[in-house]
Amino acid sequence: MDDHEQRTEAPARPGRVLIVDDEANARSALAELLEDEGYITSTASDGAEALEKLPLFEPEVVLTDLKMPRMDGLALLEEGKKLRPHVAFVVMTAFGSIDTAVSAIKRGAENYLTKPLDMTAVSALVERALEKSRLAAEASRLREQVERRLSFAGILGDHPSMQRVLKTVGQVAPTRATVLISGESGTGKELVAAAIHHNSARGKGPFVRLNCASLAESLLESELFGHERGAFTGAEKRRAGRFEQAHGGTLFLDEVSEIPLATQVKLLRFLQERELERVGGNETIRVDVRVVAASNRDLKQLVEDERFREDLYYRLNVVQIDLPPLRARRSDIAVLAQHFLRKYAEENGREIDGFTDGALRALVGYPWPGNVRELENAIERAVVLCEGNQIDADLLPVGSGREGPRAGEGDLGLLIPGVTMAEVERMVIERTLDAVGGSTAKAADVLGVSRRTIQYRLKEWRGGELEPDE
């Protein structure tokens, strides 16, 4: 093939110009001139017709007369800018009426031409206007791209499993689909829920969160659906529930597995009918709310155990996002650790360059039962305690046992052999509790034991009092 031919540049994309004038002759003369110069043109005989053509023809430049029946040029300019902010308007004004031209410029017109038209001036102005319009469109495209990246930027992760998660978040966010986010404690469920909200059309609406494990059964129902005055003892005023508060936005139901069966029925009804009644009321209320739910327990298993309604499970699970535990995406550990290091160094006004090799090895080798939250806490602590400009393994809980024997490089930072089963158990429980913010229920979930087991151990070690839970 001829080398020369390959290098020939593709012709520039032809500009699109909409010509608006109530005089047919003027329209066709302009159209002819611009077509000759390689533009694609369309015409309209007044502002109203032009406005209708904007979304269909998608002009980059609008060349418009000012005095026209129905809708004049200034009104077209004003409405058109709202509809298509990047379109460049060039107004044509009768000789001697500079005032209107000036007010057009003030309202965002790119330039003006005086009639009778000088055709050379027309093509030069249209060319410049086209360039302006394309630059503006490009700038806003870039801005959107940056904003999109920023709003996802809170969620770090290059591991393929996280890339899949991010892709799903991007696909599902703009829809109204109910999403169920599952994953162990600290894997980023709330972060993902917030990202879904912020990247949806309802992103400017409220993001309301309710932890379903935090309230007693009777309270949960009125918290969700609100109540009428006198619905129960103590209900002195009518109160809007979280659903009503989330109108136009997203309701994030955290730990959805903890919703009692009776309340599950009501939630199901809302997801099916999009309407609800306040507790003690019979007025039916319609609200526009998207539901995103999260659980760190296996809902499917709970369905099998008849602790969670199957129909509700399917309603919630329109789209499922499963967040992998950190130990299943070890390649992300270093990136996350660097991110938290920068964050906490800045917050604490510390100058720390990074981690020693030993620290990085320890970070990557540790199983992180409390996932990203545990990692974040560990880094914050290390930053605060760090005296030099690098974080070494001994500042990380993974590098040295907090209790009992000091560590070598063992997976849990314990000397193996040389440590008793009881010590291992205590360390695992205490670290997990640390990582999940002290909640025995969450620690029990992570460790796969009952909450009672943990409470008994704590009672043994700490003497007497049971840990208060959320």
Ligand X SMILES: Nc1ncnc2c1ncn2[C@@H]1O[C@H](COP(=O)(O)OP(=O)(O)OP(=O)(O)O)[C@@H](O)[C@H]1O
For binding to Mg ion (CB under 5 A), which residues are involved?
Answer: 189-190
Min dist CB 155 to ligand X, Å, is 5
Q: Name the residue nearer to ligand X (CB basis): 212 or 362.
A: 212
Strand partners, 114: 93
Residue, CB closest to Mg ion? 190
User: Which neighbouring-strand residues pair with 294?
Assistant: 181
- Angle between helix 440-447 and helix 421-435 axes, rounded to 10 deg: 120
Task: Find, among 305, 466, 427, the residue nearest to 419 by Cα.
Answer: 427
Among Mg ion, ligand X, none, what does residue 258 contact (CB within 5–8 Å per kind)? Answer: none
* 189/227 with CB nearer ligand X: 189
Nearest residue to ligand X, using CB? 188
Planar angle of CA 26, 32, 35, nearest 5 degrees = 135
- Which lies closer to ligand X via its Cβ, residue 91 or residue 259? 259
Both tokens of 5, joined, read 């031919």
Q: What does 183 bind: ligand X, Mg ion, none (CB cut-off 5 to 8 Å by kind)?
A: ligand X
Question: Residue 112: how many CB atoms within 10 A of its CB?
Answer: 19
Q: Binding partner of residue 285 among Mg ion, ligand X, none, CB under 5 to 8 Å per kind? A: none
CB of 219 to Mg ion, least distance (A): 20
Task: Give the phi and the psi of residue 64 in degrees, each rounded to 5.
Answer: -130, 140
Could you tell me the smallest distance in angstroms from the CB atom of residue 368 to ligand X? 11
Q: Which does 253 bind (CB under 5 to 8 A by kind): Mg ion, ligand X, none?
A: none
Cβ distance to ligand X smaller for residue 21 or 376: 376
Phi and psi torsions of 455, nearest 5°: -65, -40
Least distance (Å) from ligand X to the CB of residue 213?
A: 10
Nearer to ligand X, 194 or 220 (CB): 194
370 binds, among Mg ion, ligand X, none (CB under 5 to 8 A by kind): none
Residue 41's binding partner, choosing from ligand X, Mg ion, none, with beta-carbon cut-off 5 to 8 A by kind?
none
Nearer to Mg ion, 189 or 202 (CB): 189
Site for ligand X, rule CB under 6 A: 155-157, 183, 185-191, 296, 336, 372-373, 376, 436, 442
**Residues 374 and 186: beta-carbon distance below 8 Å:** yes
